[in-house]
Amino acid sequence: MRILVADDHDLVRETIAAFLESEGFEEVRMASTLDEALRVVQASGSFDLVFVDYDMPGMEGLEGLTRMMEANEGRPVALISGAITPAVAEQALAMGAAGYVPKTLGSRSMVAAARFMVAGEIYAPMSLMKKEQSAKDMLLSPREIDVLRGICEGKSNKEIARDHDLQEVTVKLHVKTMSRKLLAKNRTHAAMIARDRKLL
């Protein structure tokens, strides 16, 4: 998988790249401005996932996100930021961003989010959502809802994987991400939350 990390803060950019490389992403490229990132994409072709910093030079707010999504030929582009408002993050997602990833996200969660978005899912931290929203408003993906339904039916990850023609490891990733969005301690807790809030 090919990843591009574009951020004007050297430490942030290099740290994220190191996380991804250590987890086996084959090629991780870096850029410090939007224009540099666009040149990298134009020179080497689209990436499986591009991270763009909301505040780096050349972004001009969400206009830069649009430019990168076009340059990356519709493949996933995610917004990263130290601090943006929920409204901006939600607007980015509505525009077609693959996700919003806070720079404060831990290394394992950052890698999980990257794999999630490369797989075609949308990532957003639970801090953007209100706890009492519906499954759709929480940005649970259709696949996460499938997995949650399987959990509520008492099925194992292997059974859920078989039902939906998925790898068991993919189901585990969905369970982890979905549980984080629901603030659930484990799969049983996730099922209880789903029933309490009538998410299914």
Number of Cβ atoms within 10 Å of the Cβ of 120: 11
Question: Residue 49 in 3-state DSSP?
Answer: strand
Integer Cα distance of 159 and 161 in angstroms: 5
For residue 100, list its beta bridge partners. Answer: 79
Q: pLDDT digits over 60-119, tens only? A: 888 999 999 999 998 999 999 877 777 788 888 888 899 999 888 888 888 889 999 999
Angle between helices 142-152 and 187-196 (to 10 degrees): 100
Which structure tokens are listed for 75?
A: 């493949």
Integer Cα distance of 197 and 13 in angstroms: 39
Integer Cα distance of 103 and 156 in angstroms: 33
Q: What is the pTM of this model?
A: 0.65
Integer Cα distance of 3 and 68 in angstroms: 13
Question: Residue 20 in 3-state DSSP?
Answer: helix
Domains along the sequence of the chain with CATH: 2-127 (3.40.50.2300), 142-196 (1.10.10.10)
Q: pLDDT digits over 119-167, tens only? A: 988 898 766 654 334 444 456 778 888 999 999 999 999 999 999 998 9
Mention every residue, 6+ apart, whose C-beta is less than 8 A from residue 70: none
187 pLDDT more than 60: yes
Q: pLDDT value at position 82?
A: 78
